[in-house]
A and B are shown apart, each in its own frame.
With several copies, the nearest count.
Chain A
Amino acid sequence: MSTTTPAWERVQLARKADRPHSLDYVNALINGFVELHGDRRHSDDPAMIAGIGAFNGRTVMAIGHQKGSNTRENLDRNFGMPNPDGYRKALRIFRHAEKFGFPLICFIDTPAADPGLGSEERGQATAIAENLLALASLRVPSVGVVIGEGGSGGALAISVTDRLLMLENAVYAVASPEACAAILWKDSNAAPQAAEALKLTAQDLKRFGIIDEIVPEPEPAHDASDATIQRTGEAIERHLGEIEAIADRPAGIDRLLELRYEKYRGIGAWVDEQEELIGELPVGVPGTSTPESTSD
């Protein structure tokens, strides 16, 4: 089994500790950024940052997963894995943006939602699901950017936006290659193969129509932080400008919500077979379950 694959190399790049993280983008792109804290329920989750500021002359609200740049920071930030309080802070900010009509910019960079005991007790699944529901009908324009690792439902919970962008070396998948390899290959050393099979690169996802644009990294982001952030800001501005133009028309927000609905409604790959091909199978036939699936 080969020890690496092109997709696996992307995974390594996406995870680089010195790659710029959400606060780097926010501090560089959003003028007068004021960080807002807390879920008003239980805690302030350092793995999820949020705030308000001026992006190219208009007020926006920004949200992002926050990884650290070293082990100490990562321990403080729980490696960018939010607990339910983090998702509920995000939810509060969604509603805040909606109340005031501020566009929403989301920076996606997490290996996964936190899988701990406390997270289960406080409803990690519920928290993520409520965010998906809120984003689907949020009455403000929204742009998301996968800047590093887009891991599973924990990433999705802040990425259901009008436009979804992705850095050239970012990845986005339903599960980590390691988890996928452990389940389907019964061998976590098969992660490079799993990464390839999961089609998790920006190029794949652009081809599938799941993302709207790839932000190029002529040099990898960890070697060219400022240039990458600037290029990302330009891409956000271009997309935000386009959807604001829609939103600013009469009943424009309703139109925006329709377009957002169609965008996510349209994602999927299925066929509608003729009934005779599938056959009307008898109910209650015997069978055994094959639970080849993860729990994240």
Chain B
Amino acid sequence: MPDFFRRKPTFNREDVSAEDGPVVPDGLWVKCQKCKDLVYSKDFERWFRVCPKCDFHARLSASQRIEYVLDSGSFEEWDRGIVTSDPLEFSANGDVYREKVKSTTRKAGQPEALVTGRGRIRGYDAAVAVTEFRFLGASMGSAFGEKFARVVERAVDQRLPFISISNSGGARMHESTFSLMQMAKTTAALSRLGEHKLPHISVLTDPCYGGVTASYAMVADVIIAEPGAMVGFAGPRVIEQITRQKLPDGFQTAEFLLEHGMIDMISRRSELPGTLSLLLLHYADAFLGRHQPGYAMSGQSRNGEAR
């Protein structure tokens, strides 16, 4: 279901920073991080920040992701005001966590590493949770966990299917055991979602490690990864340091995970809305009950490809 030209993302060139995607040498061309080829910047944007030459999927911010996946203007954000309260009064080597949160909030444009809310995907309603990697590597702290639990609980209340789109560098040290316990909290919330026959679809994007993969992201009903996304428990450097093992080519890529049975499919970014909406249509049978042609039809009329 290629659908590259349906919507035009509206990001500025300035989004393209050295760490988050291709470098922009001038106003018209961007340099692909992977193949180093120059790509015409308008093409790059129309292709959802995927290199048309080597298929490299550049990292997205939470808001870019939301724009790409959800129907335009359909996103309603929840719990934006929830922020960490620094339970350990943590500082490391003079770096004060509380200050770090303030500065990272400014830089990331988000007050936490998770953005939650509800929206529509090709007409199908869903609750969504999207990580913001620029906020402390999308590490899972107390506020992240609280927002996650709330969006899942609200999905149950509003009978919405739930979609998480994640990347993460791992655990948030600065909240130590509080951070660890968010793994229990987020999966506990999901166990309630499942009892109500509401599906959880998890989308793994580059890179996705540690506390996020070892909790909510890997116990979804359907797990989708972007091509080439690195996904694992421990990072490759940690593994090499500790075990002195030589890691094989392609280790921890989405393709490696598919081969090892850990994910259901790899979906190119441009195909993600189509795949998600098709799945939402199928699962609607479970949480809306069978013989609800109205719901199915509403989806059908909007994307015309479901049945």
B293 interface residue (CB < 8 Å to A): yes
- State the Cβ distance, B166 to closest chain A Cβ, in Å: 12
Interface contact A120-B239, CB-CB below 8 Å = yes
Interface contact A295-B232, CB-CB below 8 Å = yes
Residues of A within 8 A of B149 (CB): 265
> Which residue of B133, B194, B291 is within 8 Å of A99 (Cβ)?
B194
Residues of B within 8 A of A117 (CB): 239, 243, 245, 247-248, 251
CA–CA, A117 to B249, complex, Å?
12
Stretch at the interface among A66-74, A131-139, A212-220: A131-139
Residues of B within 8 A of A175 (CB): 171, 173, 176
How many Cβ-Cβ contacts under 8 Å join chain A to chain B? 382
- State the Cβ distance, B11 to closest chain A Cβ, in Å: 5
Interface contact A116-B275, CB-CB below 8 Å = no
Q: Give per-residue flags for B74-114: 1 if the beta carbon is below 8 A from chain A beta carbons, else 0.
A: 00000111111111101111010000100011011111000
Residues of A within 8 A of B165 (CB): none
> Which residue of A31, A122, A293, A295 is within 8 Å of B260 (Cβ)?
A122
A126 interface residue (CB < 8 Å to B): yes
CA–CA, A34 to B90, complex, Å?
45
- State the Cβ distance, B179 to closest chain A Cβ, in Å: 5
Which residue, of A32, A135, A280, A282, has the highest number of chain B Cβ atoms within 10 A? Answer: A32
Interface contact A264-B234, CB-CB below 8 Å = no
Interface contact A268-B214, CB-CB below 8 Å = no
Residues of B within 8 A of A122 (CB): 260
Interface contact A32-B265, CB-CB below 8 Å = no
> Which residue of A42, A54, A129, A277 is within 8 Å of B217 (Cβ)?
A129
B306 interface residue (CB < 8 Å to A): yes
B38 interface residue (CB < 8 Å to A): no
Chain A interface residues toward B at CB < 8 A: 31-32, 34-45, 52-54, 57-59, 85, 89, 96, 99-102, 113, 115-117, 119-126, 128-130, 132-133, 135-137, 152-153, 156-157, 160, 172-175, 180, 183-186, 190, 193-194, 197-200, 205, 208, 210, 260-261, 264-265, 267-275, 277-278, 280-296
